[in-house]
Amino acid sequence: MNFKFNKIRVLETGKNTASWNMALDEVLMKGTTEVPVLRLYGWEPPAVSIGYFQRLNEEVNVKKCANLGIDVVRRITGGGAVLHDSELTYSFITKRYPQNIIDSYKLICDAIIIAINKFGFNAKFSPLNDIVVNGKKVSGNAQTRKKNILLQHGTILLNTDIEKMFSVLKVPPEKMRDKLITDVRQRVFGLDRTFEEVVIALREGFREKFHAILIDDKLSNKEEIETERVAKEKYSSDKWNFGR
Amino acid sequence: MRKVHNVLKSQKLIKIALEYDEISNTIHSIKITGDFFLYPEDSLDKLETNLIDTKLEKNSLIQKIRESLDDSQAFGFDSESLTKAILGCLIH
């Protein structure tokens, strides 16, 4: 699918807390102009995010996360629980997008696929929301649409630490745990590249896919202040995180 | 009133927490969670509200779910699988 943007605003916002990361996505979504935004970021400390329709206590061992210094947050997007550790997260926010949901996922995932394939892989889109290399998931993506603005965010796995993931996510009884870990290990794939290498590849992927000029930018004071407020009032609150 | 739960693996995982009236066999309250996608997201609240007082039998549930999600797009479940997940609560 051909889709062209003249410019893309690029924000490399570094590694931040879970509440701040999710707050900034929301703030950017509310403030998006005709120029789409590509945000590239990480999580410090590591974090578990759950989907909008998930219940935190059902999915995550919250106490263990607290003991390990792992943040927890609920996203505004659907999908499953994700451990954000050895991975890079992107957000793409646009006012212009295909109305068909699968088409819109594919459009944005195409940019990620171009990026991944720059490392010599043969990544492919796996509907609805995954990207796979040799049938193994390397990227999970989720999107929401509010007031005709689309936000898609997703992760690109750099390395996989399945044991760590299962240590904080609630999984079936112990007798099934080993099999589940083996199954998941066979189904996921880390790029084994650095965060910085993948940032460069993603920038190229979006530039090529959308024939766009990338405009490097920083957050405005207003965006920073609003992000701090939303992080504190919404994404750090039990009301939101335990809201379902 | 009786509280029951069920988990169904459809295309995505659907988890149901159901409270129902054993005499009238109708839903008193229901919470649907899981790793699915639904657009717009607030359709799920509308669906949960609409399901209250619905009879716990296949045709009534499918019809109510279809009506409630008429303007929505769900990925990871459909009216049939959601109905199966709800009725599965009664088996466990």
Is A243 inside a domain boundary?
no
Percent of chain A residues past pLDDT 90, beyond the cut:
85
Query: Which residues lie below 8 Å from residue A178, measured CB to CB, with a gap of 6+?
Result: none
Amino acid letter, A30: K
> What pLDDT does B45 receive?
96
pLDDT band at B11 (very low <50, low <70, confident <90, very high): confident
Q: What is the pTM of this model?
A: 0.94
Closest CB to B41: pick one of A55, A78, A81.
A78
Using N-to-C axis directions, what is the helix angle for B43-51 and B58-68, rounded to 10°?
Answer: 150
Q: Can you give the pLDDT at residue B92? A: 63
CA angle centred on A40, ends A35 and A46, rounded to 5°: 145
Model confidence at A175: pLDDT above 70: no
**Which whole number is the average pLDDT over A10-32?**
97
Query: Domains in chain B, start-ordered, CATH in brackets?
Result: 2-88 (3.30.390.50)
A53 falls within a domain: yes
| Predicted pLDDT at A179 | 72
Tell me which amino acid residue A144 is.
Answer: T
Element (H, E) at B58: helix B58-68
According to DSSP, the β-strands at A87-94 and A71-74 are unpaired
Residue A60 within a domain: yes
**Which DSSP string do the residues of A115-154 spell out, in sequence order?**
HHHTTT--EEEETTTEEEETTEEEEEEEEEEETTEEEEEE
Of A137, A165, A145, nearest to A98 by C-alpha is: A145
Q: Which residues of chain B have a CB within 8 Å of the CB of A54?
A: 33-35
Residue A1 lies in a domain: no
Average pLDDT over residues A201-227: 98
Q: How many domains does chain A have?
A: 1
- Which of A40, A41, A15, A209 minimizes the C-alpha distance to A115? A209
Task: Judge whether A15 lies within some domain.
Answer: yes
Higher pLDDT, residue A186 or A42: A42
Q: Which residues of B touch A (CB under 8 A)?
A: 12-13, 15, 31-41, 44, 73, 75-76
Beta strands in chain B (DSSP E): 2-9, 13-21, 26-34, 37-39, 73-75
> Could you report the per-residue pLDDT of A88-144, keeping only the tens digit for each?
999 999 999 999 999 999 999 999 999 999 999 999 999 989 999 999 999 999 999
Domain assignment present for A244: no
> In which band, very low, low, confident or very high, does the pLDDT at A174 lie, cut at 50, 70 and 90?
low
Sorted by sequence, the CB contacts under 8 Å of residue A201 that are 6+ apart come out as: A115, A116, A118, A119, A193
Rounded Cα distance between A183 and A179, Å, is 6
pLDDT of A12 > 60? The answer is yes
- The predicted pLDDT at position A180 comes to 74
Write the single-letter amino acid at A120.
G
What does DSSP say about strands B26-34 and B13-21: parallel, antiparallel, or unpaired? Answer: antiparallel
Would you tell me which residues 203-232 of chain A have a C-beta closer than 8 angstroms to some C-beta of chain B? Answer: none
How far apart are alpha carbons A114 and A203 in whole angstroms? 10
Q: Best interface-test mutation with A: which of B41, B46, B72, B73 has the largest number of A CBs within 10 A?
A: B41
A227, burial (CB in 10 Å: exposed 0-12, middle 13-18, buried 19+) = buried
Residue A2 belongs to a domain: no
CATH value at residue A26: 3.30.930.10
Q: Give the gap in angstroms from C-alpha A41 to the nearest C-alpha of chain B.
A: 23
- pLDDT tens for each residue of B69-78: 999 999 999 9
β-pairing, A7-16 vs A213-216, is parallel
Residue A103 resides in a domain: yes
Give the domain extent around A124: 7-238
Q: Is A81 on the interface with B (CB under 8 A)?
A: yes
